[in-house]
Amino acid sequence: MDDLFDQQFLASLERLALQGRKIIAGKHSGERRSPNKGSSVEFADFRNYTSGDDFRHIDWNAYARSERLFLKLFMEEQDLLLTIFLDLSQSMDWGQPAKARTARQIAAAFAYLALSSFDRVAIAACSDRLSAFLPPLRGRGSLHRAWDFIGGLPAGGSTDLDQSLKDFGRYARGGGMAVVISDFMSPPGFQEGLKYLQYLKQDVIVLQLLAPDELNPALNGDLRLVDCESGEAREVTLTPMVIKAYKRKLRQYTETIRNFCYQRNMGYWQLSSAEPLEDIILKSLPAAGILGRR
């Protein structure tokens, strides 16, 4: 994966951080604020002293003013576990450029962001099931292992996001952030799988990745279209009216995904595989609130 990124792009990544819809505590010391209150140096809040509390945390200045005992609370810094779900079914290995290549690039950039921030990252490959899983890694020294795993994953098979995401249950260990990269062309559905991730206490980000010819088909005339996953073929005559109807159906489907995500407080953004990676990571995803400045 090293040839996908130049040093200037990696330097730009250093200025970005993952922005979850909510803060989820990790298990290890890191750089991310946790909702738990601990004993680090950054002040967070006060609360009333109760019997059994550590008297060393009493704010004696507040006591001198009010003659009431208050405890100082401090913000713990904990890491985040990011799990990247990478759809590598046969439909993702289509388009110019292929969606699978762009999806790998995005996944590799997210892995870099997490590991360079002292967070942990795990990677899951999806098709009709969870076909491969890389357990959580931590530290910059693990970056090439993550990239090698992403680059070595084969593309192929049919798509069942519901089943793939539910398969994650046997690997899940506590809450975290889940980024799902897919075209969402999943006939069995995707809603139950995404809801299951939330049940597993995952902060879910959905990235729908489509090829240029899916977003704006440049076809016309009499054609024989073949489904790249099922092999089903259909003879069609593509006229401007048919293309218009296709675009309307695609918009409706996109709205279905977007509305589902918004109603369940998941992040959502649609991307084109033709969009340069630098624009995706440095412009589109920050604009969507998925990435932010450190």
Reported in sequence order, the residue ranges of 95-195 that DSSP labels E, i.e. its strands, are 120-126, 130-138, 176-182
Tell me, what's the pLDDT at 24? 44
139: left (phi over 0), alpha (psi -120 to 50) or beta: left
Give the tens place of pLDDT for each residue, 12-47: 888 888 886 554 444 444 445 444 444 444 554 556
In which band, very low, low, confident or very high, does the pLDDT at 2 lie, cut at 50, 70 and 90? low
Rounded average pLDDT over 247-262? 97
Reported in sequence order, the residue ranges of 156-262 that DSSP labels E, i.e. its strands, are 176-182, 202-210, 221-226, 233-238
Give the tens place of pLDDT for each residue, 47-103: 676 665 666 667 777 777 787 776 665 544 457 899 999 999 999 999 999 999 999
Helix ranges restricted to H, 264-292:
277-279, 285-287
Give me the amino acid identity at 219. L
The answer to whether the bond into 97 is cis (omega within 30° of 0) is: yes
CA 62 to chain centre: 44
Give the tens place of pLDDT for each residue, 201-243: 999 999 999 999 999 998 888 889 888 888 889 898 889 999 9
Pairing label, strands 233-238, 221-226: antiparallel
Asked if residue 31 lies in contact with residue 23, where contact means CB atoms within 8 angstroms, the answer is no
Give the tens place of pLDDT for each residue, 278-287: 999 999 999 9
Answer with the residue of higher pLDDT: 121 or 40. Answer: 121
Answer with the residue of higher pLDDT: 227 or 184. Answer: 184
Asked if residue 86 lies in contact with residue 107, where contact means CB atoms within 8 angstroms, the answer is yes
Tell me, what's the pLDDT at 117? 83
Q: Provide the b/e sequence for 236-253 (b: ≥16 CB within 10 Å).
A: eeeeeeeeeeeeeeeeee
Residue whose entry in the numeric block shows the structure tokens 């695609």: 250
